[in-house]
């Protein structure tokens, strides 16, 4: 443990997919309805969710390396959705536009982990709290309204015009809040995200989400570095931050 994070931190910013909400169950639930409607009821909706998510990082790579202008995650999600359809026996031309558009919104209505809202509500009493997600603003707004996430602002990739783990995603978010990186703490269930934030001077808090990827998850089960805070859930996180 380095110096107590409470001394300097003024804002806690959060990874969202996996850290605040359970994306896999939510996407699989919507995928199940979609697959059935497409005559593929025997396909595994969790495999569908995993396949869709697997294309997430590669899709952002072109934006991060500058070979593509910034586009919202909704756009990348839609491209990735169309790309995986053949793997599940579905041809793009056989699917109504409205059905694809509706399924693409599955990411807007993901359910928070059971401890997320209570922890955020407590943290909000003393700190600025905001998502620092690669999800776009409208996606985060819909999710917050549906799930009761009490954000002070919607920050992240779209405001920064940069996708994590690019340094600009973290540094521009601190700049928008008029804070030094050391006054910011990233909360994430992913060690790589925290490592990138720490490299920018952020404080770091790890909250394990051991079933994010399902019952057989092998990654991010424990802290890989001496993060400033390690907490079992968002209630413990709030306690660690003194609220």
Q: Are 60 and 54 in contact (CB under 8 A)?
A: no
Count of positions on this chain that bind a second copy (CB under 8 A): 19
Between 74 and 220, name the residue whose CB sits nearer to a second copy: 74
Task: Tell me how far, at minimum, the Cβ of 179 lies from a second copy, in Å.
Answer: 8
Q: Is 137 in the site for a second copy (CB under 8 A)?
A: yes
Q: Is 152 in the site for a second copy (CB under 8 A)?
A: yes
Q: Is 172 in the site for a second copy (CB under 8 A)?
A: no
Q: Is 159 in the site for a second copy (CB under 8 A)?
A: yes
Q: Is 132 in the site for a second copy (CB under 8 A)?
A: no
Between 55 and 172, name the residue whose CB sits nearer to a second copy: 172
* Structure tokens belonging to residue 146: 């549906």
Name the E strands within the chain. 11-14, 21-22, 111-112, 128-133, 155-156, 184-188, 203-207, 229-231
**163/170 Cα distance (integer angstroms):** 9
Q: Is 155 in the site for a second copy (CB under 8 A)?
A: yes
Q: Is 160 in the site for a second copy (CB under 8 A)?
A: no
Q: Is 92 in the site for a second copy (CB under 8 A)?
A: no
Interaction residues for a second copy, span 177-196 (CB under 8 A): 177-178
CA distances (Å), origin 65, targets 163, 164, 166, 193:
10, 12, 9, 17
Interaction residues for a second copy, span 34-63 (CB under 8 A): none
Task: Tell me how far, at minimum, the Cβ of 130 lies from a second copy, in Å.
Answer: 8
Q: Is 154 in the site for a second copy (CB under 8 A)?
A: yes
> What size, in residues, is the chain?
243
Selected from 158, 193, 212, 220, the binder of a second copy by CB under 8 A is: 158
* Structure tokens belonging to residue 15: 């990874």
Angle, helices 97-104/73-84, rounded to nearest 10 degrees: 120
Between 148 and 214, name the residue whose CB sits nearer to a second copy: 148
Q: Is 144 in the site for a second copy (CB under 8 A)?
A: yes
Q: Is 128 in the site for a second copy (CB under 8 A)?
A: yes
Neighbour-count burial for 68-102, b at 16+ CB within 10 Å, e otherwise: eeebbbbebbeebbeebbeebebeeeebeeeeeee
Using DSSP, state whether 229 is helix, strand or coil: strand
Q: Is 140 in the site for a second copy (CB under 8 A)?
A: yes
Q: Is 138 in the site for a second copy (CB under 8 A)?
A: yes
Full DSSP string of 169-224: HHHHHHHHTT--GGGEEEEES-HHHHHHHHHTT-EEEEE--TTTT-TT--SSSS-S
Site for a second copy, rule CB under 8 A: 74, 128, 136-138, 140-141, 144-145, 151-155, 158-159, 176-178
């Amino acid at each position: 443990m380095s110096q107590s994070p409470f001394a300097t931190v003024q804002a806690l910013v959060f990874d969202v997919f996996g850290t605040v909400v359970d994306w896999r169950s939510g996407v699989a639930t919507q995928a199940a309805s979609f697959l059935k409607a497409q005559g593929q009821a025997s396909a595994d909706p969790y495999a569908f969710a995993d396949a869709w998510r697997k294309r997430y990082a590669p899709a952002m790579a072109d934006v991060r390396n500058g070979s593509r202008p910034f586009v919202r995650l909704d756009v990348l999600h839609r491209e990735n959705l169309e790309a995986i359809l053949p793997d599940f026996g579905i041809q793009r031309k056989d699917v109504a536009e409205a059905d694809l558009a509706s399924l693409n919104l599955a990411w807007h209505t993901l359910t928070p982990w059971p401890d997320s809202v209570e922890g955020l509500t407590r943290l909000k009493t003393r700190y600025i709290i905001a998502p620092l997600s690669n999800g776009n603003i409208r996606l985060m707004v819909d999710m917050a309204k549906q799930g009761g996430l009490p954000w002070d602002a919607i920050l992240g990739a779209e405001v920064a015009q940069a996708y994590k783990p690019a340094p600009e995603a973290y540094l521009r978010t601190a700049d928008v809040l008029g804070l030094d990186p050391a006054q910011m703490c990233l909360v994430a269930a992913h060690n790589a995200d925290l490592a990138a934030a720490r490299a920018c001077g952020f404080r770091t808090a790890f909250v394990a989400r051991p079933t994010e990827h399902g019952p057989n998850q092998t990654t991010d089960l424990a802290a890989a570095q001496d993060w400033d805070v390690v907490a079992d859930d968002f209630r413990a996180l709030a306690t660690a931050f003194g609220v």
